[in-house]
Amino acid sequence: MPTDIAVTPGRLDRKAVLVTGGAHGIGAAIADRFVAEGADVLVADVAAGQEAGGRAVRCDVSVPEDVAAAVAEAEARFGGLDIMVNNAGLGSARDLVDLDDEEWARVIGVNLTGTFHGIRHAAPAIGRRGGGAILNMSSLAGGRALPGMGAYSAAKAGVEALTRTAAVELRGAGIRVNAIVPGLIGTAAAHGGAAVLARGLGVDDVGDYLDRRQGRWGRPDEVAEVAVHLVEDATAFTSGLLYAIDNGGSAS
């Protein structure tokens, strides 16, 4: 097991950042790490007000007005917006023939439409600063069949398509757009959905998949490390990238 990641502060000095779904899990790790790197961070989450405290606003990313308001709040607090992290997401646990329209709409609405809202409302704000970065959150489900997770899989495939399109459309505005494609990261949500994940991955137990493909659970702070890399000025020529974080799981 690797030791904790050493932070060299300042890679995001004074960058104004909005992180959706930053109250828990990977989004919280990204928000914490960005603050440690010198960024001003506003979290936009349906769970805001509980864990995330004063740095968070309540926002349902599936509601366009909520996302527009969160972007406006970040601009008002920080004087602008440099970086948008579209991380909010949730899973599904039903085969396609058993999936009703309501669950389909909820999963697509948060994961895919929420990312679209984030791009649509953040890009003009980032453009007003002369450029910056957008980072989306896909999943290993975006590029493969995971039985029982069809809506989630379709949503994440859509996030990858949006990432490519936005990277090209926004290049002229100086905005680069990348996506992280995590394997299994040990958040409470992932542990809670382990049975569904195991079925989707075709194993009896998630531990079998970890043993064979990933070695171990990934950690949220390991995703946050890559998130810093993909939004910092040093990678200004990197756009349209789908960056897997899975210890070689998708390569094997």
Ligand X SMILES: NC(=O)c1ccc[n+]([C@@H]2O[C@H](COP(=O)([O-])OP(=O)(O)OC[C@H]3O[C@@H](n4cnc5c(N)ncnc54)[C@H](O)[C@@H]3O)[C@@H](O)[C@H]2O)c1
Residue numbers 67-126 binding ligand X by CB under 6 A: 87-90, 110
Supply the DSSP string of 32-91, one letter for each residue: HHHHHTT-EEEEEETTTTTSSGGGEEE--TTSHHHHHHHHHHHHHHHSS--EEEE-----
- The DSSP code for 6 is P
Q: Does residue 137 interact with ligand X by CB under 6 A? A: yes
Q: Does residue 187 interact with ligand X by CB under 6 A? A: yes
Q: Is 243 a catalytic residue?
A: no
Q: How far apart are CA 233 and CA 13, in angstroms?
A: 10
Asked whether 133 and 231 are in contact (CB, 8 A), the reply is: yes
Which part of the chain contacts ligand X (CB under 6 A), choosing from 2-10, 11-19, 41-49, 74-82? 41-49
Q: Does residue 148 interact with ligand X by CB under 6 A? A: no
Q: Which of 34, 78, 116, 152 is catalytic?
A: 152
- The DSSP code for 51 is S
Q: How far apart are CA 9 and CA 6, in angstroms?
A: 9
Residue of 16, 39, 42, 61 interacting with ligand X (CB under 6 A): 61
Closer Cβ to ligand X, 61 or 93, answer by number: 61
* CB contact burial 16-28 (16+ within 10 A = b; e otherwise): bbbbbbbbbbbbb
Q: Does residue 146 interact with ligand X by CB under 6 A? A: no
DSSP helix/strand/coil, 33: helix
Which part of the chain contacts ligand X (CB under 6 A), choosing from 16-24, 69-77, 161-169, 206-214? 16-24
Q: Does residue 247 interact with ligand X by CB under 6 A? A: no
Q: Does residue 45 interact with ligand X by CB under 6 A? A: yes
Residue numbers of the site for ligand X (CB under 6 A)?
Answer: 20-21, 23-27, 45-47, 59-62, 87-90, 110, 137, 139, 182, 184-185, 187-190
Residues that are catalytic: 152
